[in-house]
Structure 1
Amino acid sequence: MDKEYPRISFKNRINSVKDDAEKMGQMVMESHRKAITLLNDYNQDIVEEVVSKSKDIDQAAFDLERRCIKFIAVEQPVAGDLMFIESTIRVGSHMKRIGYLAANIAEGSALIKDVKVPAKVMEDLQYMADYVQMMLSKGFYAFLNQNIDMAKELSEDDDKVDDLFDSILEQVTKNMFEDKENINQTINLIFIARFLERIGDRAVDIGGRTIFMLTFKKPKG
């Protein structure tokens, strides 16, 4: 019976790393969710909260990386366990960047709060934001649950986000020529859409890392 204790202890520690990663993921998804609510309902307090939270996420990523490195040094995991710990470091880096992109969206919302945005543009932007939120959740839980089928879906999801970005870009560009007085404000819509697209790309990267972790093969682009 005593021989089982080291293995149980090892499993508990690796589960603890997974728990920390999940907590960080929840922070990131909540931050993104709050940031995209600002597109239709601006609130300065929420802007400040999202910006502040991006720094907390940065610290969480640093703590998670340090914990993973310590785990490798002390436990000397091999094979799948080693790949999971190493992948957790990389996923943490993606999540940190998503936290800052959410802050960019929150700050960008302040620049469009007084702009009369065409209904179709705002509809597409909100749909894009909600779709990216779904991708973010899918990517992160595909990683945590080691769900390769879910991870593979993200590539097609990204195509949808790219199409939405192209549509928004075309509409905003056309509107800029028709309403030159508000050109500086409306161009911020493009930046917000770009931030959303980059979050989608990060979700795809997390999915790609999941596929590599499980197959040791680079996912097909």
Structure 2
Amino acid sequence: MDKLHFDQHISRHFNEELELIKSQMLTMGGKVETQLDDAVAALLDADSGLARDVVFREEEIDALEVQIDEDCTTLIARRQPAASDLRMVMAVSKTIRDLERIGDESKKIAKMAIILSEEGDAPRGYIEVRHIASGVRKMLHDSLDAFTRYDSDAALKTLKADDQIDLEYKSALRELITYMMEDPRSISRVMNVLWALRSLERVGDHAKNICEHTVYLVKGKDIRHGNTEALDS
């Protein structure tokens, strides 16, 4: 595991400021994990009350992104960090954007949960939702854990899990489209499940991005767009 050292600065306040933005990001990450868990639970349990709570709480995620981003900008302006310190600030700034978008996707799932709970009987696709949701929730948790521990190896391992999520999403998409063709009466309701599945697939993409930010932080290498060869250069 790669270790970074952010405790070697002359200024104790600088150390505290770096630690604060990381801590704020992880607090935001915890809230986003809860949002995703609750959105999926609301969909599977047809719990419109919980779904509305998820929609309401999304504003808190947005406010956290704005606050942390402002703190990152202020830190850059005041301290003019370089090397790993600058990578830390930039990695936090990029990660909170992905976390905010995961919050957006959770809100979309919650909205689908409200619609589906009002339509009555559960349509097809809930097994796929449960399975894919389990995978993306693990990806999100593991991506944040890798960032916390500055573990680029764990980040790379978690990043690769997105390929399986994509395969499962495409398989579910084919199966549900076939079902709708066989039973056109189901189209409206099953489409809402498909939108929820699409949001879950996007959560996996954002968790993958967080892993890429962690590799950038630890290794100083940009591996976006599949550029893992950068690690060997």
With the length of structure 2 as denominator, give the TM-score of the two structures: 0.87
SS of residue paired to 1:217: coil
Name 2:210's counterpart in structure 1. Answer: 206
Is the counterpart of residue 117 in structure 1 residue 123 in structure 2? yes
Name 1:49's counterpart in structure 2. Answer: 53
SS of residue paired to 1:102: helix
Is the counterpart of residue 21 in structure 1 residue 25 in structure 2? yes
Of 191, 194, 202 in structure 1, the residue corresponding to residue 195 of structure 2 is 191
| Pair 1:116–1:49, CA change in 2 (3 A) | closer
* 1:212 Cα deviation after fit: 1.7
Q: For each residue in 1:67-111, what CA deviation from the matched residue of structure 2 results, as whole angstroms up to 9, or x when unmatched?
A: 011111112222101110111111111111110110000111123
| Pair 1:115–1:171, CA change in 2 (3 A) | farther
* 1:183 Cα deviation after fit: 0.9
Is the counterpart of residue 35 in structure 1 residue 39 in structure 2? yes
Name 1:82's counterpart in structure 2. Answer: 86
* 1:39 Cα deviation after fit: 2.4
Work out whether residues 53 and 99 of structure 1, in 8 Å CA contact, stay in contact via their aligned partners in 2.
no
Percent identical: 25
Q: Tell me, which stretches of 5 or more residues in structure 1 are unaligned?
A: none
Is the counterpart of residue 176 in structure 1 residue 180 in structure 2? yes
CA distance in 1, matches of 2:133, 2:127: 10
Q: For each residue in 1:160-205, what CA deviation from the matched residue of structure 2 results, as whole angstroms up to 9, or x when unmatched?
A: 1112111211111111012211211111111111100000000001
Q: What's the RMSD between the two structures over aligned residues? A: 1.7
* 1:10 Cα deviation after fit: 1.7
SS of residue paired to 2:112: helix
CA distance in 1, matches of 2:91, 2:205: 17
CA distance in 2, matches of 1:217, 1:209: 9
Aligned length: 216
Displacement over 3 Å in runs of 4+: none
Amino acid at match of 1:78: A
Name 1:63's counterpart in structure 2. Answer: 67
CA distance in 2, matches of 1:137, 1:90: 17
CA distance in 2, matches of 1:115, 1:157: 33
* 1:22 Cα deviation after fit: 1.0
